[in-house]
Structures are given as structure tokens and as C-alpha cells.
Amino acid sequence: MAMRLAFVVPGEPVGKQRARTFLRKRTDGTPFVTTMTPAKTAAYEAAVKLVAQAAVAGSRWTHGPKDRFALVLHVYRTHADAGADLDNVIKSIADALNGIAFRDDRYVRGIAATMRQDRSRPRVEVEVRRLGGSR
């Protein structure tokens, strides 16, 4: 059983955007509320999922109900002071890893993250570590 899973998500990092809530009406006129994840967030999380699934498939990574994890992220953006906040990028990555690297991000017990500039190769280097005492 592997104790760490590492992979790189290429491209400009995208922070988790706030979900949009709308009040709609059914055909009979009764109101209901619907929530929608912004397209940019959904597309980025889908890309993270694909890379993570490939990394899991190419490794001996598994997770069980008693496992706990730590995330280590190195975020590289094309612009140093523009774009998503670091905490929102962390949330995009963690949410995308639900059901792939771990059951749910509520089992993440530690996070270390840095944000730097790399104009030529924006990316997020992701490492998921299984914490000792798991299982």
C-alpha cells in the first residue's frame, strides 16, 4: 500500500468560486431553489479529477474508512499577485480529490501549501500523504 500519491495538474490554477443560487418556478408556479457551480470551477475540478485518477491507476494507492491524510500543494501561477487566492485553490483541489484520493476532504488532517510565480509553466504539484496510524 502506497503511503503517498503525487501528481501535477498542468495549467493555470483555478480557485473555488462561490456557487450561484437561483430561485426558480416549477410549471405549476411553485418556487424552488437551485444551486449551480460556476463553469470555470467545474471544468478545473474535472481536470484535476482526470489527473488524479490517472495517478491512482498508475500506483498502488488505496484508501479506507479509517485513513486520514495530509495535503502538500505547490501552486505556480503565471502572475504573482493576480488570480485566485491560495485558500480557494486548495479548496478546488481538495474537492476534486473527493472519492479519488480519499473518501472526503473532511478526512484531511493537515495542509501545507505555497504559491509562487512561474510564467512559463503554471501548475499545481499535489502530494497526498497517508498519515501514520491510519487503518
Task: Report the CATH superfamily, name and number, of domain 4-130.
Answer: Holliday junction resolvase RusA (3.30.1330.70)
Radius of gyration of the chain (CA): 17
Q: Can you give the pLDDT at residue 122?
A: 96
18 pLDDT higher than 80: no
Terminal Cα-to-Cα distance of the chain (whole angstroms): 11
The whole-number average pLDDT for the span 61-70 is 93
The whole-number average pLDDT for the span 54-70 is 94
Arithmetic mean of pLDDT over the chain:
91
Distance CA 134, CA 122 (A): 33
Q: Can you give the pLDDT at residue 23?
A: 84
Segment among 62-66, 88-92, 127-131 with least mean pLDDT: 62-66
Query: What totals of helices (H) and strands (E) does the chain contain, helices first?
Result: 2, 6
38 pLDDT higher than 90: no
pTM of the predicted protein model: 0.85
Over residues 68-119, the pLDDT tens digits come to 999 999 999 998 777 779 999 999 999 999 999 999 999 999 999 999 999 9
Q: Which residue has the higher pLDDT, 29 or 36?
A: 29
Distance CA 68, CA 111 (A): 12
Q: Can you give the pLDDT at residue 135?
A: 53
Q: Can you give the pLDDT at residue 133?
A: 58
* Residue 73 CB burial class (10 angstroms; 0-12, 13-18, ≥19): buried
Q: Which residue has the higher pLDDT, 80 or 66?
A: 66
Domain ranges of the chain: 4-130
Distance CA 106, CA 102 (A): 9
The three cell numbers of residue 50 are 482526470
Assign 3-state DSSP to the chain and report helix, strand, coil percentages, each to 5.
25, 35, 40
The whole-number average pLDDT for the span 32-43 is 85
